[in-house]
Amino acid sequence: MKKVEIPLTRAGRLINAGPVVLVTSHYKDKANVMTAAWVTPLSFSPPLVGIAIHPARFTYDLIKKSEQFAINVPGISLLKAVEICGTVSGRDVDKFKKAGITPVDALEIDVPLVEECLGHIECVLVDAFTVGDHTLFVGQVVSASVVEGIFDEVWKLEEEEAKPLHHLGGSFYALLEKRIESPSTEEEEEEGD
Ligand SMILES: Cc1cc2nc3c(=O)[nH]c(=O)nc-3n(C[C@H](O)[C@H](O)[C@H](O)COP(=O)(O)O)c2cc1C
């Protein structure tokens, strides 16, 4: 296969297709919501997830102060909100109002969730590392929830509106087409029956 080189600054886009999320944060009288694509699971036990946040973001200040954040997983119906929350700062405007999304109470932390999202991960900050020009906030998961019927250990991906949205880079997004189980797993399960 012939390969072509791409700019180093675009290398991340080759592995960029995890779900794009809306990170919510809250400190004193300020609540905020910000789009983030650089999000990753980090550990099963304890359950840890990481988000890479640039220090210039208002979200960065709120998470540093409150030591809590939530990861909200939007579907395709929130594409416009994802763009708004990723281009405007909460320092200047109430992005929940501007993007037409609804803040609702979380189960375990004092940070609003985005009602219209498909799933939510509530986190308590346990570590923060400077990584180049971003900070990797490590959150311990204290609660996780998802819309009933669309997730059974993994996303079902049955209906377009019930699929997480993925960010390819720039103004490009994608939805996963369908769920595929590896043949070896199916055989093992059949053997186990
Ligand atoms: C699709 C998309 C993905 C983004 N991913 C990240 C990210 O992972 N980390 C980050 O620091 N900023 C990211 N941004 C930029 C922030 O969302 C943007 O700067 C936002 O206005 C910050 O809001 P705040 O100042 O209210 O926190 C992304 C923006 C878009 C549109």
So what CATH class is 16-149+157-192?
mainly beta
CA 166-84-106 angle, 5° bins: 75
112-170 pLDDT per residue, tens? 999 999 999 999 999 999 999 999 999 999 999 999 999 998 999 999 999 999 999 99
Residue spans of the domains in the chain: they are 16-149+157-192
**Counting atoms of ligand 1 from 1, which one is nearest the CA of 53?**
11
Closest residue CA from atom 30 of ligand 1: 86
Spacing, Cα 34 to ligand 1 middle (Å)? 6
Which of 39, 53, 57 for a ligand 1 pocket mutation test, highest count of atoms within 8 Å of Cβ? 57
Asked if residues 168 and 13 have their Cβ atoms less than 8 Å apart, the reply is yes
Ligand 1 lined by 80 (C-beta under 6 Å): no
- Judge if pTM exceeds 0.85: yes
Residue of the nearest CA to atom 31 in ligand 1? 86
pLDDT in tens, 33-51: 999 999 999 999 999 999 9
Cα–Cα dist 114/104, whole Å:
6
**pLDDT value, residue 181:** 93
Given a cut of 50, is residue 192 above it in pLDDT? Answer: no
Query: Comparing C-alpha atoms, which of 151, 83, 85 is closest to residue 120?
Result: 151
> Does the pLDDT at position 190 exceed 60?
no
Between 102 and 4, residue with greater pLDDT: 102
Per-residue pLDDT band for 10 (boundaries 50, 70, 90) equals confident
Q: For residue 48, give both structure tokens.
A: 């840890």
Q: Is the pLDDT of residue 191 over 50?
A: no
Q: Which of 87-124 are b and which e, b meaning 16 or more Cβ less than 10 Å from the residue's Cβ? A: eeebeeeebbeebebebeebeebebbbbebbbbbbbbe
- 20: nearest Cα among 33, 11, 2, 5: 33
Pocket flag, ligand 1, residue 171 (CB < 6 Å) = no
Regarding the beta carbon of 87 and ligand 1, being less than 6 Å apart is answered yes
The rounded mean pLDDT for the chain is 92
Q: Whose CA is nearest to atom 20 of ligand 1?
A: 86
C-alpha to C-alpha distance for 21 and 111, rounded to whole angstroms: 15
Of the pLDDT bands very low, low, confident and very high (cuts 50, 70, 90), residue 188 is low
